[in-house]
Amino acid sequence: MTQVIKTLSDRKNDYLKYESKEKLTWCGGCGNYGIQKALERAMVIENIKPQNAVFFFDIGCSGNGSDKIGDGEVTTFHGLHGRVISAAAAASITNPKMKVIAEAGDGATLSEGVNHLVHGVRSNYPMLFILHNNENYGLTTGQASATTRPGFKMNASPDGVTAQPMNACDFVMSLNPTFVARTFSGDVNHMTEVIQAGLKHNGFAFIEIMQLCPTYNKSTSATWFWDRFRNVRDLKGFNPQNFKMAREVAQDIDKEIAMGILYQDLESKNYLEHLPQRQGKKTTLVDEVSHVDIRPFLKKLA
Ligand SMILES: Cc1ncc(C[n+]2csc(CCOP(=O)(O)OP(=O)(O)O)c2C)c(N)n1
Ligand code: SF4
Ligand SMILES: [Mg+2]
């Protein structure tokens, strides 16, 4: 912790580049404030300069972080609902020299865009993905999402939700992932640590952040989460390289919720490293496209 503070104060100018002068419009107590702070911190500690990164945001309260990071020097892309992974994946494979970070809510990730999550994970694109799981559709005022717990009374389901909730980490683990982690928006230090690990991972790093939404999700409060969280470091014999063990601890999202790096394949090869046609290439697809002479094609069209 002392080291983190020292690193941040030594790199104050780098840190300020990630800070925004825009007015933050999330509700009081919203978990998005902490998530944004942790991400900015992790970028600075990992020494990733704004010009070497690109941030992709989905639609929703989480997506509204798009104009709340950096002041002109940070590149952000605010896409369509549920489509953030496909846009970010394209960037990650066309220019792997850039650090690609994508963020989305539980609605976008596990309903509208669940297909993109599936293929993002199994393709192992070189990117960090952060799921803001506030267990509801926040921006559209508190409808139930795929992670809302049964019985919870939400706007548009006033008698209580009846469908079973998805467990995001367990779902991702069914897709042969190479990095799965879970953390909590109320713990900036823990989030920073987990995001740092995700930024260093070679492949699709999936991080679920259990996010507080005091406005619409009153059932899972900070106290509710704190009573249940168990840091995997405190679990006897836990080894994040043991997939079976990881899947087992990821299962419970009710009584004891495991947080930390649940699984990481330290030998992971990303999507591009598996592609025969990219072997031995020193250039990126972006470099190569910029060198293609399209004049002959244009002449044909003339
Ligand atoms: C395809 C599509 N469907 C629905 C919407 C309307 N919409 C905008 S934000 C939102 C809820 C977002 O919920 P979530 O993804 O969980 O993000 P949160 O606001 O909770 O951070 C919905 C349904 C939309 N913009 N596009
Ligand atoms: S509705 Fe919930 S997620 Fe959206 S800004 Fe307010 S507290 Fe945050
Ligand atoms: Mg949500």
DSSP for 243-294, written as a single string:
HHHHHHHHS-SSS-EEEEEEEE-TT---HHHH-GGGTT--S-HHHHHHT---
Q: Does the beta carbon of 203 sit less than 6 angstroms from any atom of ligand 1?
A: no
The atom number, within ligand 1, closest to the CA of 109 reads 15
Our CA dihedral for 9, 13, 19, 23, rounded to 10 degrees, sits at 100
Ligand 2, atom 8: closest residue by C-alpha: 30
pLDDT at site 49: 95
The reported pTM is 0.95
Two tokens at 19?
């800070």
pLDDT at site 290: 75
Q: Does the beta carbon of 40 sit less than 6 angstroms from any atom of ligand 1?
A: no
Per-residue tens of pLDDT for the chain, all 302 residues: 788 888 888 999 989 999 998 888 999 999 999 999 999 999 999 999 999 999 999 999 999 999 899 988 899 999 999 999 999 999 999 999 999 999 999 999 999 999 999 999 999 999 999 999 999 999 999 999 999 999 999 999 999 999 999 999 999 999 999 999 999 999 999 999 999 999 999 999 999 999 999 999 988 999 999 999 999 999 999 999 999 999 999 999 999 999 999 999 999 999 999 999 999 999 999 988 877 788 998 999 98
Q: Does the beta carbon of 30 sit less than 6 angstroms from any atom of ligand 2?
A: yes
Query: Are residues 27 and 216 in contact, defined by beta-carbon separation less than 8 angstroms?
Result: no
- What architecture does CATH give domain 2-301? 3-Layer(aba) Sandwich (3.40)
Q: Does the beta carbon of 65 sit less than 6 angstroms from any atom of ligand 1?
A: no
Ligand 2, atom 6: closest residue by C-alpha: 27
The atom number, within ligand 2, closest to the CA of 64 reads 5
Task: Provide the CA 81 distance to its chain's centre, in angstroms.
Answer: 15
pLDDT at site 144: 97
Q: Determine the distance separating the centroid of ligand 3 and the alpha carbon of 132, expressed in angstroms.
A: 7
Q: Determine the distance separating the centroid of ligand 3 and the alpha carbon of 241, expressed in angstroms.
A: 30
pLDDT at site 46: 97
Q: Does the beta carbon of 214 sit less than 6 angstroms from any atom of ligand 2?
A: yes
pLDDT at site 80: 96
68, 81, 129, 166: residue to mutate for ligand 1 pocket, most atoms within 8 A of CB: 81
pLDDT at site 39: 97
